[in-house]
């Protein structure tokens, strides 16, 4: 039997991303977010939801651009720091010794140390209550070649993206493959209903 928990942000695990923006002086900034995801395949779009109180929120509004940088589990300490510190009074790139790379496509920085980066221009902004949802059209995806297997696919063991469990406030590393999508259920699909 399931227990009712009421309305909670428990769609989990949630991906952990570093949202890259430039401030009004052109200083690169990043913040950690878990309210992000894929929202369209054609055109390719992702979304991230931020509170208006965050420093990054106003930068996205001003620049109409952001990057989503997907860190690896080995960077969890740095990712947690980035989520607790504010770009209003700290240079997170400098403190971590990380490198902000200028995008040729959008007015937002890439995190060189993050294995995966999506460069996004804002195409829709939704005010949802406490959070603003920014839908970004993905103009390019950049992946560290060290994260590829010999066939050119992402190797989860080499990448090990981070995930977040909101209610438990815990990070997870996702490196174990449990099966092939659109393959494992074929035998069940082949059975006649009823």
Beta-strand runs (E) in 95-130: 100-102, 109-111, 116-127
Please tell me the distance from the alpha carbon of residue 52 to that of residue 129, in angstroms, as a whole number.
10
**φ, ψ at 192 (rounded to 5°):** -75, 135
Report the SS3 class of residue 141: strand
Please tell me the distance from the alpha carbon of residue 187 to that of residue 57, in angstroms, as a whole number.
47
| CATH code of the region 14-190 | 2.30.110.10
Given strand 162-165, what is the order of strands in its sheet? 14-15, 162-165, 170-173
DSSP type of residue 193: P
- The pLDDT profile of the chain, 194 residues, written as one tens digit per residue, is 999 989 988 888 999 999 999 999 999 999 999 999 999 999 999 999 999 999 999 999 999 999 999 999 999 999 999 999 999 999 999 999 999 999 999 999 999 999 999 999 999 999 999 999 999 999 999 999 999 999 998 888 888 999 999 888 999 998 887 888 889 898 888 887 87
Name the helix (H) or strand (E) containing 60: helix 55-63
Q: Could you tell me how many residues make up the chain?
A: 194
Q: What is the pLDDT of residues 38-78, one digit of tens each?
A: 999 999 999 999 999 999 999 999 999 999 999 999 999 99
Domain spans of the chain?
Answer: 14-190
- For strand 65-70 and strand 116-127, is the pairing parallel, antiparallel, or unpaired? antiparallel
Structure tokens at 160: 């090990």
Structure tokens at 184: 């494992």
Q: What is the pLDDT of residues 78-90, one digit of tens each?
A: 999 999 999 999 9
* Radius of gyration over every alpha carbon of the chain, rounded to an integer in angstroms: 18
- CA torsion 61→64→69→75, rounded to 10°? -30
DSSP type of residue 52: T
Please tell me the distance from the alpha carbon of residue 15 to that of residue 122, in angstroms, as a whole number.
20
């Amino acid at each position: 039997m399931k227990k009712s928990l009421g309305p909670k942000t428990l769609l989990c695990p949630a991906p952990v991303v570093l949202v890259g923006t430039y401030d009004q002086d052109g200083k690169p900034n990043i913040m950690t977010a878990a309210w992000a995801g894929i929202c369209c395949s054609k055109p390719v779009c992702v979304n991230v939801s931020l509170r208006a109180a965050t420093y990054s929120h106003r930068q996205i509004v001003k620049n109409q651009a952001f990057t989503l940088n997907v860190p690896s589990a080995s960077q969890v300490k740095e990712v947690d720091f980035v989520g607790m510190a504010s770009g209003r009074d700290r240079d997170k790139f400098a403190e971590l010794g990380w490198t902000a790379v200028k995008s040729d496509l959008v007015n937002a920085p890439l995190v060189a140390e993050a294995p995966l980066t999506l460069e996004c221009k804002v195409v829709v902004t939704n005010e949802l209550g406490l959070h603003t949802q920014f839908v970004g059209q993905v103009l390019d995806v950049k992946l560290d070649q060290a994260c590829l297997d010999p066939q050119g696919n992402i190797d989860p063991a080499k990448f090990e993206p981070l995930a977040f469990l909101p209610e438990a406030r815990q990070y997870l590393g996702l490196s174990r493959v449990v099966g092939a999508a659109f393959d494992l259920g074929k035998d069940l699909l082949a059975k006649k209903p009823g």
